[in-house]
């Protein structure tokens, strides 16, 4: 991997090939001013040089594992597109910025990318960072496809903001449907206080009465390490299950303490834990934990068809290189790049406004479902793209609830 850095330390990356599992990247000398004016409405094929696509990811800080996999997925998509000749002969140059799991830094990153002349931005997976950049996207009119899950990114709709993960509301809906299927009527909810997870709690409160479920909430910090008080309360609450909304190391610690304190009620985690990033460090304490997930997590169990072929094609490219089943973060970013590429082809232009207009009327099958963006729906997925899995010795397998859904029963 060859990286070029400018005086601000930003990485200018063009993925030009992938051999023996390694990306061969070549640095481009990219002008940081004047590109937007030069692009105008020039057709894709008539303009020389790479198409600049920006990315914001938490490569450091508490969400670094998520951001690192986001970056891997985006690079895989760029490599695939560039190996096939690019878009009308033009390669994609991916410019990556580290938001440090810090919303303030994410806003600075977005403006740096705009100054670099990008035609679109992928990320950030950290919902607080993505939410912080929404006003900048609105003002700059350069489309952003977030890889974060907060439904408030797209509800209400912002003209230049889209997302790839299922919204927190869709995940909430499937978690509540699973709770009703299991006969739970009293559920404790533990959530961290970041943007997506607070949004998820608010949505759960709104929807729970429709499912006949009573909820009570306990919140915790993103950096919490001691859950004894929270779990003591849960243990004596009379609840039939504990749902957890959060992402990062705290949820691993919570699970281990949940088991060490002898809690035996079902533990249902949100989709941020649906990968080896949770199952590997949590170890034996995770065995039997239920985990909501994007549908790609159960690729091997899908019925034969186009979606399974798409999903397993990605899995079979990813797994031999990185030696773990790809987490949703990698696929979210991969899909975001694919969506940008499809929009550029549809628009026949690299003008950000033309790309945005194309995104508003696009339908694309990806490894994690078919995205159908419209002017009133910038999420593009539905509740059927969310599944409930169970950790079996570090491997996520579909619950009976999900097996029934996959069979259409």
Mean pLDDT of all residues belonging to the chain: 89
Hey, what are 366's tokens?
Answer: 């990806």
- Domains 4-167+312-381 and 168-298+386-407 alike in fold: yes
Q: Are 192 and 62 in contact (CB under 8 A)?
A: no
pLDDT in the model for residue 43: 65
User: What pLDDT, on the 0 to 100 scale, is given for residue 10?
Assistant: 36
Contact 286, 279 (CB under 8 A): yes
Q: Round to whole Å and give the CA distance between 145 and 135.
A: 14
Q: Which residues of the chain have pLDDT under 50?
A: 1-41
- Lookup: tokens for 4: 């070029």
Q: Positive or negative, the Cα torsion across 315, 317, 333, 192?
A: positive
Domain boundaries, the chain: 4-167+312-381, 168-298+386-407
Which of helix, strand or coil describes residue 348? coil
Query: Among 177, 204, 203, which residue's Cα sits nearest to residue 188?
Result: 204
Q: Are 193 and 220 in contact (CB under 8 A)?
A: yes
Can you give the pLDDT at residue 263?
Answer: 96
Q: What is the DSSP string of 32-72?
A: SSSHHHHHTT-BGGGS-SPEEEEEEE--SSTTHHHHHHHHH
Q: Say if domain 4-167+312-381 classifies as CATH 3.40.50.2300.
A: yes
**pLDDT value for 31:** 30
How far is it, in rounded angstroms, from Cα 40 to Cα 64?
36
pLDDT digits (tens, 9 = 90+) for 94-132: 999 999 999 999 999 999 999 999 999 999 999 999 999
Give the per-residue pLDDT at 13: 37
In this prediction, residue 364 carries a pLDDT of: 98
pLDDT of residue 248: 81
Q: Do the Cβ atoms of 99 and 128 come closer than 8 Å? A: no
Give the whole-angstrom CA distance, residue 151 versus residue 76. Answer: 26
CA distance 225 to 129: 23
Q: What is the reported pLDDT for 197?
A: 86
Q: Is there a contact between 82 and 15 (Cβ–Cβ < 8 Å)?
A: yes
Measured in whole angstroms, the distance separating CA 69 from the mean position of its chain's CA atoms is: 10
78: enclosing H helix or E strand:
helix 64-83
pLDDT of 45 reads 58
- As given in the structure block, the two tokens for residue 152 are 């408030």
Tokens of 289: 């934990």
* Residues 6+ positions from 300 with CB-CB distance below 8 Å: 312, 315
Give the CATH class of 168-298+386-407.
alpha beta
CA–CA distance, 6 with 8 (Å, rounded to integer): 5
Total residue count of the chain as it appears in this document? 409
| pLDDT tens figures, 355-378 | 999 999 999 999 999 999 999 999
- Whole-model pTM: value is 0.84
């Amino acid at each position: 991997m060859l990286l070029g850095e400018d005086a601000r330390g930003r990485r200018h990356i063009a993925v030009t090939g992938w051999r023996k599992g390694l990306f061969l990247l070549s640095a481009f000398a990219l002008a940081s001013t004047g590109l937007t004016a030069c692009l105008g409405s020039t057709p894709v094929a008539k303009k020389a040089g790479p198409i600049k696509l920006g990315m914001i990811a938490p490569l450091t800080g508490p969400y670094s594992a998520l951001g690192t996999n986001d970056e891997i997925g985006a690079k895989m998509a760029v490599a695939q597109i560039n190996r096939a000749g690019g878009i009308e002969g033009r390669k994609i140059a991916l410019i990556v910025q580290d938001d440090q799991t810090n919303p303030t830094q994410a806003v600075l990153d977005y403006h740096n990318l705009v100054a670099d002349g990008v035609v679109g931005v992928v990320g950030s997976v950290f919902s607080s960072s993505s939410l912080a950049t929404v006003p900048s996207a609105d003002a700059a009119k350069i489309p952003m496809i977030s890889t974060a899950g907060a439904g408030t990114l797209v509800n209400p709709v912002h003209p230049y903001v889209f997302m790839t993960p299922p919204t927190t509301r869709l995940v909430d809906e499937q978690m509540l449907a699973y709770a009703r299927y299991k006969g739970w009527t009293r559920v404790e909810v533990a959530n961290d206080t970041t943007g997506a997870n607070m949004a998820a709690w608010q949505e759960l409160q709104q929807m729970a009465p429709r499912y006949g479920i009573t909820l009570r909430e306990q919140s915790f910090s993103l950096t919490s390490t001691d859950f004894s008080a929270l779990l003591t309360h849960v243990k004596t609450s009379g609840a039939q299950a504990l749902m957890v909304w959060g992402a990062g190391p705290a949820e691993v610690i919570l699970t281990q303490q949940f088991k060490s304190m002898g809690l035996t009620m079902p533990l249902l985690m949100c989709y941020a834990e649906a990968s080896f990033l949770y199952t590997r460090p949590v170890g034996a304490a995770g065995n039997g934990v239920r985990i909501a997930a994007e549908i790609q997590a159960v690729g091997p169990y899908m019925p034969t068809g186009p979606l399974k072929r798409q999903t397993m094609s990605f899995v079979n490219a990813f797994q031999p290189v990185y030696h773990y089943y790809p987490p949703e973060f990698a696929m979210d970013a991969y899909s975001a790049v694919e969506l940008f590429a499809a929009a550029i082809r549809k628009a026949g232009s690299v003008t950000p406004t033309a790309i945005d207009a194309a995104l508003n009327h696009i339908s694309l099958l990806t490894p994690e479902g078919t995205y159908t963006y419209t002017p009133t729906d910038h999420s593009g997925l539905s509740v059927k793209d969310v599944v409930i899995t169970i950790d079996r010795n570090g491997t996520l397998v579909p619950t009976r609830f999900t097996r029934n859904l996959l069979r259409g029963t």
